[in-house]
Amino acid sequence: MSQKNLKTKASLGFVGLGAIGLPIAANLLKAGFYLQVHTLSRLAETSKQLKGAKSCSTPKDAAKGCDVLLICVSDEVAVETVLFGPTGAESSLTEGTIVIDLSTISPSKARFFSARLAKRNIEYIDAPVTGGTEGAKDGTLTIFIGASNASFKKISSVLKAIGSAFYTFESVGKGQEVKALNQILVAGSYAAVAEAIALGETLNLPMNKVVEALQKGAANSWALSNRSQSMLKDEYPLGFKLHLHHKDLAIALRTAEESGIKLPITSKVKELEEELIKQGYKDEDVSVLKRSITR
């Protein structure tokens, strides 16, 4: 597989067509890549957004003949099944193929998958993304890449079709470690916005004007700019599912524990999310944290 081929008519396999994966796959098609797709439910494979892509019945089929296999699934168990399960992609992957894992999983599992595939001269790159469904649709995701600059260059044309900011961190698992930091910050900022809005409403402040004012100062954040209206309306259209963020916080806390430090704020937000999940909000956007604030 040459860089020239990747820049022209590379063949890509893509597994995982959820809220993030589907628009990513659609952007790869728009960029001119040949795409073979599979998702567990099979439903999204026939989406109008994927007109021209080949629907495949298994990850094994999606990986056949591809130059690069991209994975965008919910957790490390799903990644392992996609790669090494009974109908997994591994048996179809050939020497020199690159696997780009866009999923958020533990750093240790990323390293495990990499070592297993390396035995067959297949490069595994952890490349978790951030930017929500908006970034996935617009092709403006930020991508944390557990690989060298040299490895990034091999796949740059693929990633540039789905993102706008790319950061390499030299070795496998490092992308996932940076993503853990990202999710810690997301947890704190969403919870803080939820508490501020709850107090502002209790004080009967004109909250739309308040949010506009806060965005002009040091309190501004992505969460305030992009999720405050959802909290004010008490409506939570999907951006990133609560239960997936809860899973990510578990990874972050486990990583912190292994490193010998405690994260009290992240632990508290995880507890709040657990309670909301019990109440039936697991598939709502993370901004549903607002409902954890009681008067």
The pLDDT-based confidence of 14 (bands split at 50, 70, 90) is very high
CATH number of 177-292: 1.10.1040.10
Q: CA 49: distance to chain centroid?
A: 19
Residues 114-139, mean pLDDT to the nearest whole number: 96
What span, in angstroms and rounded, lies between the C-alpha atoms of 81 and 99?
14
The CA-to-CA distance between both ends of the chain, in Å, stands at: 60
Selection from 246, 115, 106 nearest residue 176 by Cα: 106
Asked whether residue 18 carries a pLDDT value surpassing 60, the answer given is yes
Cβ atoms 44, 50 nearer than 8 A: yes
Maximal CA-CA distance, the chain: 64
Is the domain spanning 3-172 CATH 3.60.150.10? The answer is: no
Of 147, 199, 225, 194, the residue nearest 288 (C-alpha) = 194
Q: Give CA–CA dist 242/280, Å, rounded.
A: 10
The dihedral formed by the CA atoms of 78, 81, 82 and 85, expressed in degrees to the nearest 10: -170
pTM, 2 dp: 0.92
Q: Would strands 129-130 and 163-168 be described as parallel, antiparallel, or unpaired?
A: unpaired
| CATH 3.40.50.720 domain locations along the chain | 3-172
Q: For 42-55, what is each residue's pLDDT tens digit?
A: 999 999 999 999 99
Active-site amino acid positions: 179
Burial of 112 (0-12, 13-18, 19+ CB in 10 A): middle
d(CA 120, CA 122): 5
Q: Above 80 in pLDDT, residue 26? A: yes
pLDDT, one tens digit per residue, over 242-277 is: 999 999 999 999 999 999 999 999 999 999 999 999
pLDDT at res. 255: 95
At 5 the pLDDT is 44
Q: How many CA atoms lie within 13 A of 159 on its CB side?
A: 26
pLDDT at 203 over 80: yes
Stretch(es) of the chain classified as CATH 1.10.1040.10:
177-292
